[in-house]
Amino acid sequence: MISVQQNAECLTKLGMLKFFPVKESVVAEIGRLLNELCENDHEARRLTGIAVARWSEWPGPNKIKELYASEIASRRPREVGPEGCGKCSGGLRPVFQVFEQLADGSEGKQIIYPEGNILRAEQELFRRFANSKTHRVYTGVLVPCSCPLGVRERDKLQQVESQRYGQ
């Protein structure tokens, strides 16, 4: 988000371009666009500086977005995070949950982390418990992996949960 002062300065600078809109409501929309695109005042100054240097006529909002993507956002430093492992995708890995109805009425739960071909593991699991009256199998469950990327994803999930429930 950029400051109100910087937004006004950018709009003034863009106003030097031939055919720049003069209608207040349109100028306000262009200001909103700058605010949505740019993360800070520095990015806004760079964007308008490049626009004024590149064009003598107002190119329209789509060209401003394209310019932002190619010249500002593409040069923004990227976050370097931990890498996943061969067992997960993006820090999450599929698991199967098997619930067993115990004799005392309680329910037991077993979590199975499949290795290798997940579809084959799923077929084998369903074949194993196909006729069971005491077991239920759930698939399609994703849990954070134990690799560094999975730990980061688990921490993010916990943060979201704590914010959601005010803990």
| DSSP letter for each residue of 62-111 | HHHHHHIIIIIGGGSPPPP-----TT-BTTEEEEEEEEEE-TTS-EEEEE
pLDDT band with cut points at 50, 70 and 90 for residue 35: very high
Which pair of structure tokens corresponds to residue 137?
A: 């199998």
- SS3 letters across 13-53: HHCCCECCCCCHHHHHHHHHHHHHHCCCHHHHHHHHHHHHH
pLDDT at 165: 72
- C-alpha R_g of the chain: 27
Summarised one tens digit per residue, pLDDT across range 42-91 is 999 999 999 999 999 999 999 999 999 999 988 877 666 777 788 888 88
Q: Which amino acid is at 1?
A: M
Half-sphere exposure of 20 (CA within 13 A, CB side): 21
pLDDT at 81: 73
Task: Tell whether the model's pLDDT for residue 3 goes beyond 80.
Answer: yes
Which pair of structure tokens corresponds to residue 14?
A: 């863009």
Summarised one tens digit per residue, pLDDT across range 100-141 is 998 888 899 988 888 878 888 889 988 998 899 899 988 878
